[in-house]
Amino acid sequence: MNKTIQTVESAAAGSAFLIEDVYPLIDGGRFAVKRIAGERVEVWADVYRDGDAVIGAALLWRREQDREWQREPMTHRGNDRWSGAFVPTEAGQHSYAIEAWTDEFATWSHGVARKQRSGADVTLDAIEGAGLLTKAHGARPNAAAVIIKQCEDYLQTGEVAPLLATELGEAMAESQSRPDLTRSPSFPLTIDRDKARFGAWYQMMPRSQGQIPGQHGTLRDCIARVPDIAAMGFDVLYFTPVHPIGNTRRKGRNNAPVATEGDPGSPYAIGAAEGGHDALHPELGTIEDFRALVATCLEYGLELALDFAVQCSPDHPWLTQHPEWFKWRPDRSVRTADGPYSDIVIPDFASVDRAGLWNAFRDAMLFWIDHGVTIFAIDNHDTAPLPFWEWLIRDIRRRHPEVILFSKTFARPKLMKGLAKLGFAQSFTYFPWRTSRWELEQYLGELTRYPERDFYRPNLFVNTVDLLPYHLQSGEPWAFKSRVALAATLSGSYGIYSGFELLEHAAIPGREEYLDSEKYQIRQRDLDKPGNIKLYIAALNRIRNDNAALQRTANLRFLGIEDGETIAFAKEATDPANTVVVAIALSRHAREFWLPLGDLTVDAGGQRHHVTALENLLTGEQSRIEWGGIRLRIDPDRDPALLFRCLA
């Protein structure tokens, strides 16, 4: 008997409201939705209760470190669907939630209005309404003045009209008690700065920036390269690891298992007698040189990104200082990685002193942050457990919300998405292996749909120090231009690895790897080699900077054209006045095709209008739209990409 009573009482004390189908939400709120500071965060939800009472709803949000919530009203959109929005202005971790309550005064007002329309007597209803005014509390001065005035008018006239005044309803909406106020769980939201959404990355090997053949480059040589990289329009200078390199099991040229005298080794075999993850390779220079590099980058509008690899060489100081952080074989030799990676050691992230190991990696990252690094590309992170990455990202972001972490792995698709959910601001993609039109449309369609678009920010690299895709190994200029144009226009963030602009394409036969890779040797380049496409890349980056539509990824919309070897798409900025249409050839031969634009509209003077003309963003030439589209011709040997701004 008592158990039955307790069950009934518990049910009776439950919430009057259901708040369901919240959007956006990642895995029920387990992981954070991602947005950019200054960007409008729009939230939708089903909010309802039994009966026909008038309800109110509000969207709450706050920074993680704040105690008080900020509130924005939500609007009923029909069928119990509500929406609201807010604009966070600072990078960092945030939360949002939804509140709902019964608006007793509005419910009374609606009931009285219905009775009046039917001719019924509302005298008693007016008395009840006046009684509700006595429950108002905490009203702001203006609202309190309205409540007092309308109540006095009612008492003087006995008429219900003063109680039905619009201004009284608004005053009571914020002032009456809310005994059935219901709040949803709070949901996580990550706010990043704009660089997490939009940037052009240039990756290079610091030691290969010298001009004397065979001589190790320095950070001062890297400083001399900054103006040229900035002139191409890049805004992120991305370095491979800059730490001391181990000697034990050092790799030779082309990943030979044994190095010869003078071979510099792979920079990913981190650690030697000179230091580990918080040390500079001595031949690169000093920490003062590093600071000078950071300052020069900022002077030219670039940020410095560093590869951060959670691995060691067998000579890393940690192996002697903290042997418990590693796995050892029966003969007391350290367990190294297999095959081509035998020059590195993977720490034991589940060791008895895992806290010490985790903190050591965190402290190494903080060291470089203190020296001006704001972006880290995490290499080989699929060798560390997921809880480590979730902890590291949260700890770093709590201390430095401006820092951007790029997940560089191209492992299994679900693992890549899982790492993005854990908090990486950007992620590598399978773009280098998507070459046909249907592959590109399917893959980019996947990355720009819900929920992927709310947690996975793709960074489309066309090549990397580890990767020379087969489609670039012919060295044909049109192919290099086509791929960089695709990367630069499909995504807000993209990157190239040094040498791409020079059309470098010598590969190890049968493999997607560079022959004589500078991972294992020092190289020098003629940076103005004839036939380079530096001006072409600079033009693409200029167009990206001038057109907000190209600075986003999720706004991608593919256009249906009959030519299967050409891809076309449109992108619209948050300000719909800027809409860009792109067509890019995916094979070498010249072709003509019809580009349909019939349902595409742009904003002009606050109103939507159909596109009437296209302006070529390279030449400035304008072409009229007739019969809902335009016939175009692409000659890939001249330029495989056509970029247009839409005009109304």
Q: Would 5 be classed as within a structural domain? A: no
Q: Does one domain contain both 566 and 517?
A: no
Could you tell me the CATH number of the domain that includes residue 487?
3.20.20.80
Cα gap 60→184, rounded to integer Å: 10
Q: Would 1 be classed as within a structural domain? A: no
Q: Would 12 be classed as within a structural domain? A: no
Per-residue pLDDT, averaged over 490-511, amounts to 98
| Confidence check: pLDDT of 256 > 80 | yes
pLDDT (tens digit, 9 = 90+) per residue, 22-43? 999 999 999 999 999 999 999 9
Q: Does one domain contain both 159 and 215?
A: no
Q: Would 170 be classed as within a structural domain? A: yes
pLDDT at 214: 84
Residue 261 and residue 214 in contact, taking contact as beta carbons nearer than 8 Å: no
Q: Does one domain contain both 370 and 497?
A: yes
| Confidence check: pLDDT of 603 > 90 | no
Nearest CA to 583 out of 560, 602, 552, 603 is that of 560
Q: Does one domain contain both 358 and 429?
A: yes
Q: Does one domain contain both 383 and 250?
A: yes
Nearest CA to 106 out of 171, 157, 154 is that of 171
pLDDT at 2: 54
Q: Indicate the pTM of the whole model.
A: 0.93
Range of the domain at 40: 18-103+181-191
pLDDT at 137: 82
Q: Does one domain contain both 387 and 501?
A: yes
Give the end of a domain, one of 159, 191, 223.
Answer: 191
Name the domain count of the chain: 4
pLDDT at 605: 76
pLDDT (tens digit, 9 = 90+) per residue, 316-335? 999 999 999 999 999 988 98
| Confidence check: pLDDT of 82 > 90 | yes
Can you read off the two tokens belonging to residue 362? 């965190």
Long-range contact pairs involving 11-16 (C-beta distance under 8 Å, separation at least 24): 15/180, 15/182, 16/49, 16/50, 16/102, 16/180, 16/182
pLDDT at 12: 46
Nearest CA to 553 out of 646, 456, 442 is that of 456
Q: 10 pLDDT band (50/70/90 cuts)?
A: very low
| Confidence check: pLDDT of 638 > 90 | yes
| Confidence check: pLDDT of 1 > 50 | no
Q: 13 pLDDT band (50/70/90 cuts)?
A: very low
Cβ neighbours for 307, distance < 8 A, ≥ 6 positions apart: 238, 239, 240, 241, 267, 268, 376, 377, 379, 408
pLDDT at 11: 44
Report the percent of the chain where pLDDT is more than 90: 84
Q: 255 pLDDT band (50/70/90 cuts)?
A: very high
Q: Would 134 be classed as within a structural domain? A: yes
Q: Does one domain contain both 199 and 347?
A: yes
Q: Would 111 be classed as within a structural domain? A: yes
Cβ neighbours for 402, distance < 8 A, ≥ 6 positions apart: 91, 193, 374
Query: SS3 of 188, please?
Result: strand
Residue 21 and residue 48 in contact, taking contact as beta carbons nearer than 8 Å: no
pLDDT at 14: 57
According to DSSP, the β-strands at 92-102 and 182-183 are antiparallel
pLDDT at 45: 98
pLDDT at 3: 53
| Confidence check: pLDDT of 139 > 90 | no
Residue 453 and residue 492 in contact, taking contact as beta carbons nearer than 8 Å: no
pLDDT: which is higher, 118 or 463: 463
Give the end of a domain, one of 550, 565, 582.
Answer: 550
Q: Does one domain contain both 228 and 358?
A: yes
Per-residue pLDDT, averaged over 563-578, amounts to 92
At CA 245, angle to CA 241 and CA 247, rounded to 5?
155
Write the CA distances from 313 to 208, 279, 284, 336, 544, integer angstroms: 21, 14, 19, 9, 40
Q: Does one domain contain both 156 and 203?
A: no
Could you tell me the CATH number of the domain that includes residue 33?
2.60.40.10
Q: Would 566 be classed as within a structural domain? A: yes
| Confidence check: pLDDT of 434 > 80 | yes
Residue 517 and residue 451 in contact, taking contact as beta carbons nearer than 8 Å: no
pLDDT at 243: 98
Q: Does one domain contain both 589 and 453?
A: no
Q: Would 476 be classed as within a structural domain? A: yes
Q: 59 pLDDT band (50/70/90 cuts)?
A: very high
Give the end of a domain, one of 117, 142, 174.
Answer: 174
Could you tell me the CATH number of the domain that includes residue 575?
2.60.40.1180
Q: Does one domain contain both 252 and 352?
A: yes
Q: Does one domain contain both 337 and 203?
A: yes
According to DSSP, the β-strands at 303-309 and 17-23 are unpaired
| Confidence check: pLDDT of 516 > 50 | yes
What's the mean per-residue pLDDT of the chain? 94
